Amino acid sequence: RLRPFNRLQVILQHLTMSKHADSTAEVLLEKKGCAGIITLNRPKALNALNISMIRQIYPQIKAWEQDPETFLIIIKGTGGKAFCAGGDIRAITDAGKIGDRLTRDFFREEYTLNNAVGTCKKPYVALIDGITMGGGVGVSIHGHFRVATEKTLFAMPETAIGLFPDVGGGYFLPRLSGRIGYYLALTGCRLKGRDVLKAGIATHFVDSEKLPALEKDLIALKSPSTENVADLLNSYHAKSKADQDKPFVLDEHMEKINSLFSGNSMEEIVKKLKQDGSAFANKELETINKMSPTSLKLALRQLREGASMSLQEVLTMEYRLSQACMKGHDFYEGVRAVLIDKDQAPRWKPAALEEVSDEFVDDCFKSLGNNDLKL
C-alpha cells in the first residue's frame, strides 16, 4: 500500500499531469457560472482554427444553446497576441495539392460553425483582443457582441492569397457604412484598436487589461438576458478612454472610398482610382495591383450579391466560391508567395483583370447540386 505522503504525491502528480494535458488542448471548453467559455488555445499558431477545433466548438455551442443553465457564451484566445489569426491555411493547401477531402470538409464545417454563431439563441460575446482575421472574424462577427481592445488588429486579407473574404464576409462587409466593406474586402486594409469599433465591426471597446474583470463580471451575472449582458458591456465600454478622441482612421478618406469603390466592376474601380490620381487613390491602386485578379472579381461580386442575401444564402454562395478556389491556381500560388516561400511575389494566372472572363466568374457561383452547403 502507498504511504499517505506517497499517495498525496501521486494524486498531486496526477492532477498536474491532467491539468497539463488539458492546457495543451487546442481549444478549451468550460462552463463557469452562467457562461459557457470557448478558449482558442494554439498561441504559437496565433490561435488559427483547424478542423479539429471546429469539430469541438460546433457541437458545444449547440449543446449550450439547449442548456437551461447556460445563459451566455464567451469566446476568447490565449497567448496575448491574437484572438484568432485565421483558418489553418497551410493544412488546406497541403490537402488541396493531393486532392484530399479536407478542402471540402474544412470550408463546409467552418461555414456551418459561422452560421451557428450567427443564429445562436444565447448572447454570444467575442473578446477580439489581438489579431482577428479571416476565420477569427467568422467565429466573432456574427455573434451579438464583439469587444475590441487597443490590441485588436482586424483584416480580411484573402485577396492577397488567391481567396476571397469568406466566413460570411459577403454578409457583413456590404452592410458596413458606405463602401467601407468593399474597401476592406478588396484591399485587405488593416484596422486597429478603436477603429475596429468605429468601422462597425466591434460593438464595444474595452481596455485589454480590463478583460479578465469583464469576464469575471459576465460569469457572475444571475440568469442574464441579452439586455443584462449589453448593460454590463456598455458600462465597461463607457469607462474606457483610450483613443476616444482620435478620429476614425478612414474618416478623411471616406468621401473617396464611397465614390471610388462604388464601381460596378473591378475594371471600373481601377479606372476611377487611376483617374482620381490622389495620393490615397494611388496607394490603393498599388495595393489592388498586387492582389489576385480572380480573387478581386470574385470578392466584388460576392459582396454585391451578398448585400441582399441572408447569412445562410451568403455562406452557401461562399462555399461554392471556396470550392472553385480549391480547383484553381491562385490560392496555391498566393499561399506559396505569402506564407511558404514568403517572397511576396505571386504569379497570378490570369495575371490581369481583363483576362478573368465573366463566364469564368459565373461558373464559380454556380450551384454544386448535391454538394452544395446545406444549412
- CB count within 10 Å of CB 212 equals 10
pLDDT given at position 10: 52
Residues 84 and 47: beta-carbon distance below 8 Å: yes
- In sequence order, the β-bridge partners of residue 148 are 128, 205
In the block, cell 474544412 appears at 106
As a whole number of angstroms, the distance between CA 324 and CA 305 comes to 17
Residue 156: all three cell numbers together: 480580411
Alpha carbons 107 and 87: distance in angstroms, whole number: 10
- CATH architecture assignment, domain 25-371: Alpha-Beta Complex (3.90)
At 21 the pLDDT is 45
Task: Classify the C-alpha dihedral 45-46-50-55 as positive or negative.
Answer: positive
Can you read off the three cell numbers belonging to residue 179?
Answer: 463602401
Mean pLDDT estimate for the chain: 94
How many of the other CB atoms lie within 10 Å of CB of 43?
14
pLDDT surpasses 60 at 14: no
pLDDT confidence of residue 8: 54
Task: For residue 158, indicate whether it is catalytic.
Answer: yes
C-alpha cell at 250: 478612414
The answer, yes or no, to whether residue 263 has pLDDT greater than 70, is yes
| pLDDT per residue as tens digits for the range 118-168 | 999 999 999 999 999 999 999 999 999 999 999 999 999 999 999 999 999
CA distances (Å), origin 41, targets 64, 79, 163, 218, 226? 20, 8, 25, 21, 27
| Residue of 330, 329, 310, 322 lying closest to 365 (CA atoms) | 322
What stretches of the chain show up as alpha helix (H) in DSSP? 4-23, 51-66, 89-97, 102-118, 135-138, 169-172, 180-187, 194-198, 211-220, 226-239, 254-260, 266-276, 279-290, 293-306, 311-327, 330-335, 358-364
Distance CA 27, CA 38 (A): 7
191 - beta bridge partners? 154
pLDDT of residue 16: 45
Which residue in 33, 134, 135, 169 is the catalytic one?
A: 135
For the stretch 348-371, pLDDT in tens is: 999 999 999 999 999 999 999 999
Digit-coded pLDDT (tens) for 217-245:
999 999 999 999 999 999 999 999 888 88
**Which residue is catalytic, options 166, 215, 330, 333?**
166
166 is catalytic: yes
Q: Which of 77, 87, 143, 162 is catalytic?
A: 87
Where are the domains positioned within the chain? 25-371
Backbone phi and psi for residue 116, each to the nearest 5 degrees, phi listed first: -65, -35
List all residues 6 or more positions away from 13 whose beta carbon is below 8 Å from its beta carbon.
none
Instruction: Report how far residue 347's alpha carbon sits from residue 205's, in angstroms, rounded to the nearest whole number.
Output: 40
Q: How large is the average pLDDT for residues 269-286?
A: 98
- Evaluate whether 186 touches 159 at the Cβ level (below 8 Å): yes
> Quick one: pLDDT band at residue 20, thresholds 50, 70, 90?
very low
Convert the pLDDT of each residue in 59-118 to its tens digit. Answer: 999 999 999 999 999 999 999 999 999 999 999 999 999 999 999 999 999 999 999 999
pLDDT above 90 for 38: yes
Confidence tier at 24 by pLDDT (50, 70, 90) = confident
